[in-house]
Structure 1
């Protein structure tokens, strides 16, 4: 049996009267929409309510499914310990999702529960639902730091498990929108905040789920959104189906966006396999970019592919430009997959006879030895975007005023500890950010004195 309906809802504790103490009146429109969602859930009488929450256990590279037979929680952290929950878990469906993930080596399961208590991203929706419907168990699922495509893929896997279980299931995608909508809000204002809210409400209000995958990660971060990954999992659960969407409300009065939409599946629609179509487009774009790249990037890609496919170090080709064969310099090879960093390793100064050998070695390291990531696999190659930076000479500087995040990279040093950051990186907009990231990469504490060096690069795409 397919998922019967899904609901996109926010989770402000303020909306619970015992927490808001009158403050909830300012979001009455959201409350009324939430009550309609609760009525619709009650009418469906689900056996199970799946809730994806940004505030459940979250890992960078793993989707956590809450284990066990039950869980408790309360709003004590928000001044209302008397508002309590005791929920039974549908451990059978949770285990079926886990087994399906295991069968395809997908990074999801019940390991690593750090805190069994229910989180407010789960409890706020339940506060409304349980006033209207006390039946049904829950499955609680956390998000991850993996790409949006993996969240969509996880939604597809969840839908497969639900179909196989034969249970009557509804899906609640819990998540606030931007937290940077007003200067008086908890995180201040950023222009990306209102842009995010406008886009997400249009996309979800029209069930145009393919566009959820097109949101840039840096844009989402600047908007300080909360629930995007939750919404993407939900979208994946409806892959290949028509969906009737209804926008119930959107409010921006606290500096945080609260949006509520309902979604009901319709007949199968081959035009709504959004992940399939998105990945086809990305593969084509990566191929076109690879075909038009210069010799530096082609060499890096050839090195990566040789190592990933055959575990063989590439020989230096004979037909390279003379600069790559006669000159030595430090280089960095950066690998991105679907907009996210997948590996980046480099050398501050030359360690090889020439730039070509430097690129080959750093290509191998970037795809297989970056300690932040697992080695790249062969099936990932078609999604990779590779760039090469050739570093100029470093020079000592006396002040951050001599830096420019777009033009200069920075090296922060304290004794034997050094941290480097390349220039002109997405999401690094200020000199302070640049220095701080480089300092942390070098393991240099905030209270330790440091010296600065700068360098320029020639970036090849």
Structure 2
């Protein structure tokens, strides 16, 4: 059974009249759109409503599905404990999704719920729906820090889990950029309105391939909270023609709110977007490997050999003298699906040559970066490598001596030290560069610290 309909909705608590106290009238178009979709849901009479909310229990590498049979929640954190909702969960569908996720090697399940209270990402849409219809059970899912592709795969799994005897709708709860206005609560960045325009266009066209491919740096800079939910929804609609309708978009408070609906119609083999995305990605990776230099090739061979043979790669005999006769610090960076997957390096030489430095640090980047689990053999074809060979760092006296496109930075305070490479996507100013390096080292902004800069030769 295909999903009956899917929606994207925002979740500003200010939309509730008691909380907004008149301010909600500034987003009247969103209110009207909410009433319109609530009436549609009443007419559809679903047995189950699935809601993904970024304010549910969220993990970096795991999709949490709320367990138990019942749940409740209120707007107590916004000062209104009497505005509350009670729901029953569809435990049968929850169990089915969890089982299929395990079979599909998707990290999703019901373990590790930190708070069983319904969050406002769920409460806001239910506030409107319950005015018209309440004879349903709920499934609540938290997005994760995993890639857009993994969110889409979870959506595909949800589609497979649907029972032919149940009528189900999907609600992707999430706001767009939180940085649309200088006088807004989160300030303004130029990426904010760019992101919102992209998303509204994507939703209007139901162009989920473009949704999957959206630049992760743009999403991060825009400070959005709906992208993960939207990708799960796209996966739920995988393989079907879709009639789309954007009911409203507005952002008077500096946060983007979009309400859109999607009605699946007939199957369409041309709308399996994840396979299209992966084919495009693999073609790009083949092209990259055809043009990689010996530094990158050595890094790739080193990690692949270690993962497959459980021991370091013996230094190849056909390397250039540049690799075997010179010493330098080296950083090896791994990316997967456009996201960092590991990065380890040395600021100065620790081995007898650059080649050995690359071999050692490539293995460490894939298996010893504490921010990530170890790279698996299954992931190796998807890894993109870059190798930075460092020039010796030099002390500087002012942040004005930095240029994030040319220089990397080392921030040091006592025994704490943080490093950031140059010319990274999303790092546009020296202030951003120093802040990221400082935070990596656990150095407080008010601590006394010194700065060093360095240049690199990047191979990628």
TM range (shorter): over 0.9
Q: Distance in 2 between matches of 1:34 and 1:334?
A: 45
User: Does residue 128 of structure 2 align to residue 125 of structure 1?
Assistant: no
Contact preservation (8 Å) 2:69, 2:89: yes
Q: 3-state DSSP class of the match of 1:186? A: coil
Deviation track 1:234-273 (CA, whole Å, cap 9, x = no partner) reads 0000111111111211112221111111111111100000
Q: Distance in 2 between matches of 1:345 and 1:296?
A: 15
User: Does residue 450 of structure 2 align to residue 451 of structure 1?
Assistant: yes
Contact preservation (8 Å) 2:388, 2:457: yes
In structure 2, the partner of 1:2 is 2
Contact preservation (8 Å) 1:178, 1:196: yes
Q: Distance in 2 between matches of 1:349 and 1:166?
A: 64
In structure 1, the partner of 2:53 is 53
Q: Distance in 1 between matches of 2:254 and 2:444?
A: 33
In structure 2, the partner of 1:413 is 412
Q: Distance in 1 between matches of 2:339 and 2:309?
A: 25
In structure 2, the partner of 1:72 is 72
Contact preservation (8 Å) 2:242, 2:262: yes
Q: Distance in 1 between matches of 2:177 and 2:243?
A: 24
Q: Distance in 2 between matches of 1:9 and 1:202?
A: 15
User: Does residue 322 of structure 2 align to residue 298 of structure 1?
Assistant: no
Q: Count the aligned residue pairs.
A: 460
Within 5 Å, give how 1:71-220 maps onto structure 2: 71-163=71-163, 166-220=165-219
Contact preservation (8 Å) 1:287, 1:382: no
Instruction: Give the direction of change, closer, same or farther, for the CA distance of 1:182–1:448 in structure 2 (3 Å limit).
Output: closer
Within 5 Å, give how 1:338-353 maps onto structure 2: 338-353=337-352
Please provide the CA RMSD for this pair. 1.3
Q: 3-state DSSP class of the match of 2:117? A: coil
Q: 3-state DSSP class of the match of 1:345? A: strand
Q: Which runs of 5+ in 1 are unaligned?
A: none
Question: Displacement of 1:343 after TM fit?
Answer: 0.7
Within 5 Å, give how 1:192-271 maps onto structure 2: 192-271=191-270
Q: Distance in 2 between matches of 1:331 and 1:287?
A: 25
Q: Distance in 1 between matches of 2:347 and 2:91?
A: 52
Question: Displacement of 1:93 after TM fit?
Answer: 1.0
Question: Displacement of 1:399 after TM fit?
Answer: 1.9
In structure 2, the partner of 1:30 is 30
Q: Distance in 1 between matches of 2:7 and 2:405?
A: 42
Question: Displacement of 1:436 after TM fit?
Answer: 2.2
Deviation track 1:419-447 (CA, whole Å, cap 9, x = no partner) reads 21111112222222222222222233444
Question: Displacement of 1:319 after TM fit?
Answer: 2.2
In structure 2, the partner of 1:361 is 360
Deviation track 1:194-250 (CA, whole Å, cap 9, x = no partner) reads 111111111111111111011111101111212011111000001111111112111
Instruction: Give the direction of change, closer, same or farther, for the CA distance of 1:178–1:440 in structure 2 (3 Å limit).
Output: closer
Which piece of structure 1 moves more, 322-331 or 416-425? Answer: 416-425
Which piece of structure 1 moves more, 320-329 or 305-314? Answer: 305-314
Question: Displacement of 1:88 after TM fit?
Answer: 1.0
Instruction: Give the direction of change, closer, same or farther, for the CA distance of 1:209–1:75 in structure 2 (3 Å limit).
Output: same
Contact preservation (8 Å) 1:388, 1:459: yes
In structure 2, the partner of 1:378 is 377
Q: Distance in 1 between matches of 2:184 and 2:317?
A: 60
Deviation track 1:298-319 (CA, whole Å, cap 9, x = no partner) reads 1111111111222232222222
Deviation track 1:128-149 (CA, whole Å, cap 9, x = no partner) reads 1000001001001011000000
Q: Which runs of 5+ in 2 are unaligned?
A: none
Q: Distance in 2 between matches of 1:410 and 1:107?
A: 36
In structure 1, the partner of 2:421 is 422
Contact preservation (8 Å) 1:181, 1:190: yes
TM-score (norm 1): 0.97
Within 5 Å, give how 1:267-282 maps onto structure 2: 267-282=266-281
Contact preservation (8 Å) 1:159, 1:237: yes
Contact preservation (8 Å) 2:347, 2:392: no
Contact preservation (8 Å) 1:335, 1:341: yes
